[in-house]
Structure 1
Amino acid sequence: MLATRTRRWKSVAWATAAVLVGLTAPALTATPAGATTTDYDSTYYKNAIGKTGASLKSSLHTIISSQTKISYSAVWDALKVTDQDPNNSNDVILLYSGVSRAKSLNGGDTGDWNREHVWAKSHGDFGTATGPGTDLHHLRPADVTVNSIRGNLDFDNGGSTVTGGGGSKVDSDSFEPRDADKGDVARMILYMAVRYDGGDGFPDLEPDEKVDNGTNPYIGKLSVLKQWNDEDPPSAFEEKRNQVIYDTYQHNRNPFIDHPEWVDAIW
């Protein structure tokens, strides 16, 4: 069952509608503007609630580091479930382009889809190692050609339109996803920054305010990622994906899908 996400403005809207039709509205919850509450706050996130800054980041790292890891080969079948087209069970929805493509067309040829590492694996040189290289919270199906164009570029605004990219743009040192995927990308990148902090033999991944980071364990631009998180809130597709990964595969969650306001609380 999907976690119940409650926004204060929704409660206010319900209350207003209730008055108009003569119903009794539920009591409003006094929460900060833009804050969310979920069914997991009293269980999974209980040690993070009420914290900010480095303390919140540290608590979330401890929480989400408890996970079941899968192999890189197992990612193929997992993505066919996590990214299934809600309107066609034979297809997956591709990141960046938004195209619905047959699950059977996974591979490396033109017209296929492959496994995109949103946190480019060369940024920290973790490759396809079990852990950051196989973490479903940042692995998504993507068109082979569009994925190749993105390569290991950092994320920023601007550039020329990517052919077949659904409105995505690219320039010499950065990639801009289509609008519908911008928040997804931001929350995946920031999940990785919290999950992988230099332990487990892997590099300390961090967002920064640069592009063209090369093989350093950084991805930018943080200010742009924060903007994308604000402008493109979690969709039903993204929330369901988070739930499937939690229930079926890794048994950990992306906290920024459940609580997008935690991005600003940390960074």
Structure 2
Amino acid sequence: MAAIEEFKFSPSELQKRLNQLSFIFQSKQSLSLSRFNLVSDNGKTWFSCFVSSWRGPIRVFMVLLLWLCLIGESKGEEAQNLQRYACEDVLHYYAPVQDLKGAPLMEKLHSIVSGHQALRYKEVWDAREILDAADVDNPETSSEVIEIYTLRAVPKSLAGKPDGWNREHLWPRSYGLKDGLSVTDLHNLRPADVNVNSSRGNKYYGECAPKESYCIRPANKEAAPDTATDKERWAPPLLVRGDIARSLMYMAIRYGLHQPSGAPDLQLSDTPSMENGRMGLLAALLPWNEIDPPSISEQLRNDRICGHYQHNRNPFVDHPEYANLIWKIPNQPNSVGYDTFQDAWINEFHYNNKGKDRNEFVEVVVRESMDPSDFTVVLYNGSNGRTYMSLPLTNGRIFTKTSGGSGFLIYTAFVPLQNGPSDGIALASSKHGNTNFKVIQFLSYGGVVKAIDGPAIGSESIDIKLKETAMSSEYDSLGLEGDGTEEFRWKRFMGEATPGKLNQGQMIIKGP
């Protein structure tokens, strides 16, 4: 008579192993499977398999082998789940960056997103057919992908073909992408029409006005109608400008620090440079991030890169506000003066707008106890580094004086300011000597200015990383916001210029 014995496992443990179990018993003539039953034991449901055998030792050995297989595979699945969990738990993923800003925030985000899973060439193509599928809810069964610059749905089967689509590096390879990780990073790759991709080439992102020379709209006959380009800039469709801005911001924090030898640290800038890995234009990307917030499809894409491919996230899709905390706060002291604002500072200005320039002005805030005759505003031409206008605060024909509260006065001059691309404004003081001026601030917009004359001679300006364009309104401005002088940061005010008054969101805390 054959011996009978019962072995109990939970249904979830044995559900995936039935084929294995069947194979074991069918391949051994000395073993036979009597029956499988679901039984209840103290309120728990178990899968009960009754095994009969004519040879007890073989039966014990085979069941032990199956048990080891169950345990080993279960542990492997647990380890895999733990590996994915870090980026899937979004709340804890960003916990280390709480209350950080500027360079410390950038450094911490770099450490969080680095060390992601590298992909092989074929894996990149396969992933994009899922990540950029036309049907975002059913990407595996979708037969089409969405092209980034045309916004058309095109067959997946046209991947890599001359009349189809290829992979577009939003941050071009020529701008510092050297190692395999940066070249195959899915956060930087999108499908693009072959011809439109070729038209974009290595151009950096930015807007051009239709009235400007060489500004073409659309950027390519096959591109979306709201695209534009000139000799250097490329403006993508409005619907994806925020998506592209956030992709470039990710690249700047992922590959902007501690790069391998021979690979430059990637940077976002208003002075792009292939040699130095500087991509732009930052002044365009920051507003794009605000105007075009993350869509559901962009968030799904981020989730899938985390869960299925690289196991990291794009922080700016989850937290778009991180962009302003990093790039709208000066990360370096003034190279020619105060490290923080004290007795006087440049507070707001407007220099460019659509059509004929109007309402151009520069505004300075000075402590009421200071002698205004000590201060002069000096304007610099960035193309040659020379001064083109000097404006003493005591010149009543130029400046109007109003109260800023908290013991400060506001001096505003409506004067024509040059439109860039890199022009400067210096605030100089003679209080340290009757004839020798000391520059206490030297700021610029659209790039860095190196002064070759005037009070800032031999000094380089601090680029505020913001600028106006030919599409700006005459009521726009660039100005400071924040509470207390040490918390001030530059912001682009759209339709909210306040010459002669404190800016929106600005409060001066009275000091000593």
Report runs of 4+ in structure 1 exceeding 6 Å deviation. none
Aligned with residue 171 of structure 1, among 214, 218, 230: 230
46, 55, 63: which one aligns with 2:112: 63
Say if 2:156 is the partner of 1:103: yes
- Structure 2: how far apart are the matches of 1:41 and 1:249? 16
Could you tell me whether the CA contact under 8 Å between 1:106 and 1:113 is conserved in 2?
yes
Cα shift readout 1:221-262 (whole Å, capped 9, x = no counterpart):
101100100110001111110011000000000000000011
Residue 144 of structure 2: SS of its match in structure 1?
strand
- Corresponding residue of 1:21: none
Structure 1 residue 108: deviation in Å? 4.0
Determine the structure 1 residue equivalent to 2:144. 91
The answer to whether the 8 Å contact 1:72/1:130 transfers is no
From 123, 137, 155, give the equivalent of 1:74.
Answer: 123
C-alpha distance after superposition, 1:76-121 (max 9, x if no partner) = 11100111112771111111111101111101402x1100000000
The 5 A counterparts of 1:1-267 are 40-86=89-135, 89-110=142-163, 112-126=164-178, 129-158=179-208, 159-160=215-216, 161=218, 162-166=220-224, 167-201=226-260, 202-211=263-272, 213-267=273-327
Letter in 2 for 1:101: V
Q: Match of 2:155, as an amino acid? A: A
What is the aligned residue count?
A: 226
Distance 1:102 1:144 in 2: 13
How far apart, in 2, do the equivalents of 1:199 and 1:215 lie? 17
Identify unmatched segments of 5+ residues in structure 2: 1-87, 209-214, 328-512
Conserved? CA contact 1:41–1:49, under 8 Å: no
Higher relative contact order structure (alpha carbons within 8 Å, sequence separation ≥ 6): 1
1:29 alignment partner in structure 2 = none
Change (3 A) 1:198 1:46: closer
Q: TM-score, normalised by structure 1?
A: 0.80
**3-state DSSP of counterpart to 2:174:** coil
Structure 1 unmatched runs, 5+: 1-38
Deviation at 1:41, TM superposition (A): 5.0
CA distance in 2, matches of 1:125, 1:42: 30
Give the Cα separation in 2 of the matches to 1:205 and 1:106: 29
The one-letter amino acid of 1:248's match is: H
Q: In structure 2, what is the Cα distance between the partners aligned to 1:147 and 1:74?
A: 21
In the alignment, is the contact (CA less than 8 A) between 1:169 and 1:175 conserved in 2? yes
SS in 2 for 1:89: coil
Cα distance, 1:168 vs. partner? Answer: 1.5
Q: Which amino acid in the other structure matches residue 135 of structure 1?
A: D
Q: Which protein is richer in helix relative to its size?
A: 1
Shift, 1:125, TM fit = 4.8
Determine the structure 2 residue equivalent to 1:15. Answer: none
State the Cα distance separating 1:199 from its structure 2 match. Answer: 2.6
Q: CA RMSD in A?
A: 1.7
Identity %: 40
CA distance in 2, matches of 1:136, 1:224: 23
Instruction: Specify the structure having the higher radius of gyration (Cα).
Output: 2
Find the aligned partners of 2:97 and 2:112 in 1 and give their Cα distance.
8
Residue 454 of structure 2 is matched in structure 1 by none
Partners of 2:259 and 2:265 within 8 A in 1: no
Amino acid at match of 2:100: K
Cα displacement (A) at 1:55:
1.0
